[in-house]
Chain A
C-alpha cells in the first residue's frame, strides 16, 4: 500500500492518540478469504443461518465492483486489513472493574465510565472487534428495554427478531462495503424499546479501534416499537498509525408507528482511517427519525445516512456538520426516500474545509408518486477557511408527484474580515475569534447535542483551528 497516501499531518489529538501495545488474544490473518470468514464465524459461535449469511456476503463482495464515483480509496488494500481482532478478554463485562486494565484505562481516558455515571442510561464499549463492556441501568431494563451485543442476543429469545431485521435495510448487495460488512461484521449493539416506553436519558455505544492495520465492522440494530422514544449516541475514535485502518460499520434503525428515535454521532477517527459506513432508518406511520451527526476525523469518509419514510406522516430530520482538514477528503450527506403521503424531511448541514481539506456534500431526496402532500427542505452551508481548501455541493432531487413541496438552498462562504475584526475588538485573539465563528457555524449540531457532547465538539473545533493563523 502507498504510505504517503495515508500519511497526513495532524493536529495535537493527544487525548485521542494515546495507544496501548496490541495485546490481543486472537486475530485472523490479513486479507479476506473464505477461510477467514469461517474462522470469524466459528469464533463467534454463529447460528448456521448467520454463517451462511457471511459466506453469501463474501461471494457478493467478490463479485462487486469497487466504488469509483467518490474520493480515492486506492490507499485501502483489503489484502492488508486484519478483519478480526479479539481483545485479551474472554467475554463481555457488566462491571468496569473486570475489564482488563489497558482497555479500561483507554475508556477512562475517553471519559466513558464517567459519562455513564453522570448522564447515560446504558453504555456499550467496543475495543477492536469485540464489545468489552455492556451495561444498562436497572430502571431502564425494568421498562423492558433490551440493550446488548448482537452476538449473544443471537443465542437468546431475541434471535428471531434479529434474523427478521438483520441487514434487511442494508442488504449485502447494496454496495461492496455492505457486502464486506455482512461477511466479517463483529460487535456492535442490539437495542429494542417496547411499545410506549420512553427512555428518558440516552444510551451510548463507543467504538475504539486500537490495533494498527485493522478493520472495525460493528453492527448496530435498533428497533423502537410503537409510540416509544429513544436517544442513542454513538462515539468513535482511534489512535493514529501510518498504515490504513478501515471502518465499515452498519447501522439499521427501525422506527415504529408514532415512535421517535434520535441518533447522535460524534465521529473522530484518526486521520489514517477509511470510514466507509452505512446507516439507514425505516420510519413507519407518524414516526420520526432525527439524525445528529458530527464528522471530524478519518482520512476518507463516505457517509450518507438514509431515511426511508414508509408510513403516512413519517418524518426525518438530518442535522450534520463535517470538518475536513489537511489530508482529509470527507464525502458526506444524506438520502431520504418519501414513499408514503404527508411525509416530511428537513435537512440542515454545514461543512467546513481547511488546509487543503475537501468536503463534499451529497444529498438525494426521492419523492415517490405515492407520497402526496409531502414536504422536503434542504439547506446546506459551506465554509472555506482558506484558498487551498475545497467544498462541493451535489444535491439531487427526484420528485415523482406534482403534489409535493420541495425546497433547496445552498450557501458557500468564507469568514469575513469584518466579523474577525469585530470579535477581536473585544479582546479575542484572531485564533479564538475564528474558532468561535466556526463553532457558531456548527451550532446547528452543537445545540442539538447533550451539553457534554457539545463541549467535546467545540473542543474538537478548537483543536482543528489551532495554529490556523498563517
Chain B
C-alpha cells in the first residue's frame, strides 16, 4: 500500500443525538482509488460530510488523520486547504455569486495568492471544454437553475480546478443519464491523470466505475464496514446486491 493520505480510526458520528457511524476504520493511500458501496441509509454520505468537517455531524469518538495530521473537529475550510475535496450529492444553489468568481475565490484562498483574471479564465475555459460544459455557465450564478447533470459537471470542474490531494465523490453519478455519466467519468480520469490525487467514490451503483481501475472496495452497512476487498467485490455486488451483508 502507498503512503497513507487518510486514516479513519474507530470513527463514531451522530446527528441530532442519533448515532449513524458506529466505529468505522478505513485507510486510503496516496493516489489510490477507493469505492464505498452500500445500501441507502447505510451512512455513506454521513461519512463524506464528517470527513469534510460538516458541523451538523458530531464526531463522538475516534479520529481522522489526513496528510499525517489529526483533523478531527477541524473547521471545514482548514480541511479543504489541507487538500480534501467533497463533491456534493446535491450541490447547493448560491444566488449572486458566479461559478467563475467562486472558483477563483476558492483558489485564492487555497494558494493565498492573487490570481490574474486573464490566466484564470483561459484555464477555466480549457477545463470546461474537457467536461463539454458551455462556457456561458462560468458567468452564471453558482448552480442556480443548472440541470442535475450541469450541477455535477460543475462539481467536477471545481475538482479539476482546485486539484486536491483527496477527492470524495458523493453519489456523483446519481440521477445522471448515460452521456452525463460518461462526461463525469472523463473528468475523473482527467483528475487521476493530471493531478494524481486519491479518490474516495461513494456510490450505490457501479456505472461510474467502469473506466477506473479500483484499488479497494469497502462495503458499508448500518454504519459499519462489513466487508473489504478488491475490484472483484464490485462485480459481486452487481450480481447479488447487498442482501448477504444485511
Interface residues of A (CB under 8 A from B): 417-419, 421-430, 432-433, 436-437, 439-443, 446
Question: What is the interface of chain B, defined by CB distance below 8 A to chain A?
Answer: 49, 52, 54-56, 75-77, 80-81, 85-86, 88, 91-92, 94-97, 102-103, 105-106, 109-110, 141, 158, 162
Contact for B94 among A425, A432, A440, CB less than 8 A: A440
A426:B56 contact, CB within 8 angstroms: no
Contact of B106 among A417, A428, A430 (CB under 8 A): A428
Q: B96 contacts A443, CB within 8 Å?
A: yes
* Residues of A contacting B94 in the complex (Cβ-Cβ under 8 angstroms): 419, 422-423, 436-437, 440
Query: What B residues does A424 contact at CB under 8 A?
Result: 75-77, 80
Q: Are A432 and B96 in contact (CB under 8 A)?
A: no
Q: Which residues of A are found within 8 Å of B141, using beta-carbon distances?
A: 440
Does A428 lie within 8 Å of B77, measured CB to CB?
yes
Distance of B170 from chain A, by nearest CB (Å): 11
Please report the C-alpha to C-alpha distance between residue A436 and residue B95 in the assembled complex, in whole angstroms: 10
- B103 neighbours in A (Cβ, 8 Å): 426
Can you give 5 contacting A-B residue pairs, CB < 8 Å? A421-B56, A424-B76, A440-B95, A441-B95, A443-B95
In the assembly, what is the distance between CA of A419 and CA of B93, in Å? 8
- Report how far A440 CA is from B86 CA in the complex, Å: 23
* Chain B residue contacts of A433, Cβ below 8 A: 77
Among residues of A, the one whose C-beta sits closest to the C-beta of B83 is: A427
B162 touches A426 (CB 8 A): yes
**CB contact between B56 and one of A417, A419, A440, A443 (< 8 Å): that residue:** A417
Does B109 contact A440, Cβ atoms closer than 8 Å? no
Which residue of chain B has the shortest Cβ distance to A440 in the bound complex? B96
**From B75, B96, B106, contact of A426 by CB (8 A):** B106
Tell me whether B97 and A421 are in contact (CB under 8 A). no
Check A429/B109 contact, CB under 8 A, given A422-B92, A424-B75, A424-B76: yes
* B80–A425 CB distance below 8 A: yes
CA distance A123 to B52 in the complex (A): 51
CA distance A436 to B98 in the complex (A): 11
The CA of A419 and the CA of B56, in the complex, are separated in Å by: 12
Residue in B closest to A443 when the chains form the complex, CB atoms: B96
Chain B residues within an 8 Å CB radius of A419: 92, 94
A391 to chain B, nearest CB (A): 18
Most chain A CB within 10 A, of B88, B95, B162, is at B95
Q: Cβ of B92: which chain A residues have Cβ within 8 Å of it? A: 418-419, 422
Task: Report the bound CA distance from A446 to B97 in whole Å.
Answer: 11
Tell me if B75 and A441 are in contact (CB < 8 A). Answer: no
Q: For A442, what are the chain B residues with a Cβ–Cβ distance below 8 Å?
A: 96
Q: Are A422 and B77 in contact (CB under 8 A)?
A: no
Cα(A419)–Cα(B102), bound, Å? 13
Q: Which residues of A contact B96 (CB under 8 A)?
A: 437, 439-443, 446
| Among B75, B77, B88, B110: residue with most chain A CB under 10 A | B77
Quick one: given A421-B55, A422-B91, A440-B94, are A427 and B110 in contact (CB under 8 Å)? yes
Which among A427, A436, A437 is the interface contact of B80 at CB below 8 angstroms? A427
User: How far apart are B230's CB and chain A's nearest CB, in angstroms?
Assistant: 30
Instruction: Let me know if A429 and B77 touch, CB within 8 A.
Output: yes
Please give me the residue from chain A that is nearest to B80 by CB atom: A427
A428 contact set on B, CB distance < 8 A: 77, 105-106, 109
Q: Knowing that A427-B80, A439-B97 touch, tell me 16 more A-B residue pairs with CB under 8 angstroms.
A: A417-B55, A418-B92, A419-B92, A421-B56, A423-B102, A425-B77, A425-B86, A426-B80, A426-B102, A427-B81, A428-B77, A429-B77, A433-B77, A440-B94, A441-B96, A446-B96
Residues in A neighbouring B95, C-beta threshold 8 A = 440-441, 443
B76 contacts A425, C-beta separation under 8 Å: yes
Other-chain residue from A422, A429, A430 in contact with B88 (beta carbon distance below 8 A): A422
A428 vs B110: C-alpha distance in the bound complex, in angstroms? 8
Which residues on the B side are within 8 Å of A441 (C-beta)? 95-96
Q: How far is the CB of B45 from chain A (nearest CB, A)?
A: 13
- Nearest residue (CB) in A for B106 is A426
| The one of B54, B81, B105, B110 that contacts A421, using a Cβ cutoff of 8 Å | B54
A419 to B95, CA, bound (A): 10
Question: How far does the alpha carbon of A17 sit from the alpha carbon of B85 in the complex, in Å?
Answer: 42
